[in-house]
Amino acid sequence: MKVILVNGSPHEKGCTYTALNEIARTLNKENVEAEIFWIGTKPIAGCIACRKCGQTGQCVFQDNVNEFRKIAQTAGGFIFGSPVHYAAASGALTSFMDRVFFSEMLGSAENAFYLKPAAAVLSARRAGTTAAFDQLNKYFTISEMPIISSRYWNMVHGAKPEDVLQDLEGMQVMRILGRNMAYFLRCKEAGAKAGVALPEREEIMMTNFIR
């Protein structure tokens, strides 16, 4: 079992990393492999809706989006972490997730996200976390991904990593999230061994509101 934790902050070892690292440590204690994937600081273009991913199986922009999609197939679960910028996830992570999720929907014979558990983690100095939390969770619900919860909303507070470490409640929320993720993965694994089949999938129907 493996969980990929995506660090959507421009700071590789900043506040978002501190929260994700606490989850990773907890997952390791639960005998679940954890890999932190940093999206980096290079510009990430937004999705241009060219739909070429549906023809080629990869995004037309050759950057870390395609790199991530390669390793996503190896994961059993995902956690996406972001700092809060103007009560939203970082612009880079938003562009990253727009392209990753759209290209997985159109360009993968085997969707890397289908029925795999996911969670969002937000880091802020003070406020805007709940709005950003809601934003990221929408990627999961549109992709048939069970959302893993914790005892509170998945957020930490602080202007620097040292502050986040002092957010005792926030760090506890991260640990509980890690244990809940590990539990769900074990339940899913046990179900597969017992012969519990995945739900029947239907072909996607897309309609609009124009008569």
CB atoms within 10 A of CB 138: 12
Residue 110: Cβ-neighbour burial (10 angstroms; 0-12, 13-18, 19+): exposed
Q: Which residues contact 157 (CB under 8 A, 6 or more apart)?
A: 123, 124, 125, 126, 129, 163, 164, 167, 170
Mean pLDDT of the chain: 95
Paired residues of 61 in beta bridges: none
Q: Would you place residue 208 in the very low, low, confident or very high pLDDT band (cuts 50, 70, 90)?
A: confident
Task: Domain ranges for the chain, please list them.
Answer: 2-193
Q: Look at residue 209 in the predicted model and tell me its pLDDT.
A: 82
This prediction's pTM: 0.95
- Max distance between CA atoms of the chain, in angstroms, equals 57
What is the percent of the chain where pLDDT is above 70? 99
80: three-class secondary structure by DSSP: strand
Radius of gyration from C-alpha coordinates of the chain: 17
Architecture of domain 2-193: 3-Layer(aba) Sandwich (3.40)
Whole-number Å distance between alpha carbons of 22 and 8: 16
Residue 52 corresponds to which tokens in the numbers above?
A: 């070429």
Q: Would you place residue 205 in the very low, low, confident or very high pLDDT band (cuts 50, 70, 90)?
A: confident
**Residue 108 above 80 pLDDT?**
no
> For the segment 36-74, what is each residue's pLDDT rounded down to a tens digit?
999 999 999 999 999 999 898 889 999 999 999 999 999
Q: Look at residue 109 in the predicted model and tell me its pLDDT.
A: 64
